[in-house]
C-alpha cells in the first residue's frame, strides 16, 4: 500500500530564525491514524504545517528536501477558534464548503452533511461564540470535512479536554471518512491504541518511529529526561554496532 505522505530529507527554517525547526526528516505515513509526539519545541506542529502545505506557503522560510502528499490535507490548529471564521455554525460550514469548491447551492447540503457527521446539526443556527469549547472543536472538524479534506491534521486535539479530544480523534478515524488522520500530541495514552504509527520527535529530528507497541516505551522515557538519555545512548550504541 502506497504512502499518502512521503518526506525525504526535509529540513525547515522559519523566517528570521537562526536554527532549523526540522532537520533531515525522512518519513512515510499511510492510511489510518498516525501520531506525532515529543517534547515542547520538538517540531510536531511544524511537521503538520509542512504536510498541510502551510509551510512554506503561509509561513515562508526555507524548506529543503522532497515532500509528496496525496489527497487534500487540512490542518486544524491547536487554537482551533482561529479556524472558525464566520459568526454562526451554518455560515461557517457553508463558507468552508465553498472554500472547498462547492457552489453556494451545494454548500448548503455539504454543510448540513458535515454537521450531521459531527452530531452538531442542532447547533447550526447558533452563534459560535455561544458554544462550549468541545462544541467549537466539533465545528472546526466539521469545517475541515465540509472543505473536502481527505486527510485531517489535528494539532493537540486533547489539549483542552482529554476525553472530548480523544473521542473526536476516534470519530475522525472510524466514522468521518478521512483517509488519514495525523495527530500531534504530548500525552498520547488515550489515543495510542488507535494508531497505526507513532513518530517521536526531539530537537527537530525523528528519534524513533514505528508501530505503537515498538515505540511506546521509548516515548514515555523521552518525557523523562534521564530515561531519554539512557535510551538515546542505547539507540546510539545500536547504531554504532550496526556501522
Ligand X SMILES: Nc1ncnc2c1ncn2[C@@H]1O[C@H](COP(=O)(O)OP(=O)(O)OP(=O)(O)O)[C@@H](O)[C@H]1O
For 203, the grid coordinates are 530537537
Residue 14 interacts, among Mg ion, ligand X, none and using kind-specific CB cut-offs from 5 to 8 Å, with ligand X
Under rule CB under 5 A, residue 45 binds Mg ion: yes
Find out whether 71 and 89 touch, Cβ atoms under 8 Å. no
Report, in Å, the least distance between residue 188 CB and ligand X.
12
209 beta partners? 199
Would residue 229 be called left, alpha or beta, if left means φ above 0 and alpha means ψ between -120 and 50 degrees? Answer: alpha
Options 7, 10, 21, 33; binder of ligand X; rule CB under 6 A: 21
Residue 165 interacts, among Mg ion, ligand X, none and using kind-specific CB cut-offs from 5 to 8 Å, with none
**What is the contact mask toward Mg ion in residues 76 to 115, using x (rule: CB under 5 A)?**
----------------------------------------
Find out whether 49 and 75 touch, Cβ atoms under 8 Å. yes
Burial class from Cβ neighbours inside 10 Å (0-12, 13-18, 19+) for residue 37 reads: buried
Under rule CB under 6 A, residue 172 binds ligand X: no
Choose between 60 and 177: whose C-beta lies nearer to ligand X. Answer: 60
Under rule CB under 5 A, residue 172 binds Mg ion: no
Half-sphere exposure of 27 (CA within 13 A, CB side): 30
Report, in Å, the least distance between residue 72 CB and ligand X.
22
Q: How far is CA 136 from CA 63, 85, 87, 209, 212, in A?
A: 33, 11, 12, 32, 30
Under rule CB under 6 A, residue 138 binds ligand X: no
Options 8, 9, 26, 41; binder of ligand X; rule CB under 6 A: 41
Choose between 117 and 192: whose C-beta lies nearer to ligand X. Answer: 192
Report, in Å, the least distance between residue 236 CB and Mg ion.
26
Find out whether 51 and 198 touch, Cβ atoms under 8 Å. no
d(CA 182, CA 197): 10
Report, in Å, the least distance between residue 158 CB and Mg ion.
12
> Which residues of the chain form contacts with Mg ion (CB under 5 A)?
44-45
> Which residues of the chain form contacts with ligand X (CB under 6 A)?
14, 17, 21, 38, 40-46, 186
Amino acid at each position: 500500500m502506497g504512502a499518502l505522505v512521503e518526506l525525504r530529507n526535509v529540513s525547515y527554517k522559519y523566517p528570521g530564525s537562526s536554527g532549523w525547526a526540522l532537520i533531515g526528516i525522512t518519513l512515510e505515513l499511510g492510511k489510518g491514524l498516525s501520531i506525532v509526539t515529543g517534547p515542547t519545541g520538538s517540531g510536531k506542529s511544524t511537521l503538520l504545517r509542512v504536510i498541510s502545505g502551510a509551510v512554506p506557503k503561509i509561513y515562508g522560510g526555507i524548506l529543503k528536501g522532497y515532500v509528496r502528499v496525496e489527497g487534500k490535507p487540512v490542518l486544524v490548529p491547536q487554537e482551533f477558534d482561529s479556524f472558525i471564521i464566520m459568526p454562526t455554525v451554518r455560515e461557517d460550514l457553508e463558507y468552508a464548503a465553498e472554500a472547498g469548491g462547492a457552489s453556494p447551492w451545494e454548500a448548503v447540503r455539504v454543510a448540513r452533511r458535515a454537521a450531521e457527521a459531527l452530531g452538531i446539526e442542532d447547533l447550526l443556527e447558533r452563534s459560535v461564540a455561544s458554544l462550549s469549547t468541545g462544541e467549537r472543536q466539533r465545528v472546526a472538524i466539521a469545517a475541515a470535512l465540509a472543505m473536502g479534506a481527505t486527510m485531517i491534521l489535528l494539532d493537540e486535539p486533547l489539549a483542552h479536554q482529554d476525553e472530548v479530544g480523544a473521542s473526536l480523534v476516534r470519530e475522525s478515524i472510524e466514522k468521518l471518512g478521512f483517509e488519514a488522520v495525523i495527530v500531534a500530541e504530548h500525552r498520547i495514552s488515550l489515543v495510542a491504541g488507535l494508531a497505526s504509527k507513532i513518530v517521536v520527535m526531539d530537537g527537530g529530528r525523528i528519534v524513533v518511529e514505528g508501530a505503537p507497541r515498538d515505540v511506546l516505551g521509548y516515548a514515555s522515557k523521552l518525557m523523562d529526561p534521564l530515561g531519554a538519555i539512557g535510551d538515546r545512548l542505547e539507540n546510539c550504541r545500536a547504531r554504532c554496532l550496526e556501522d
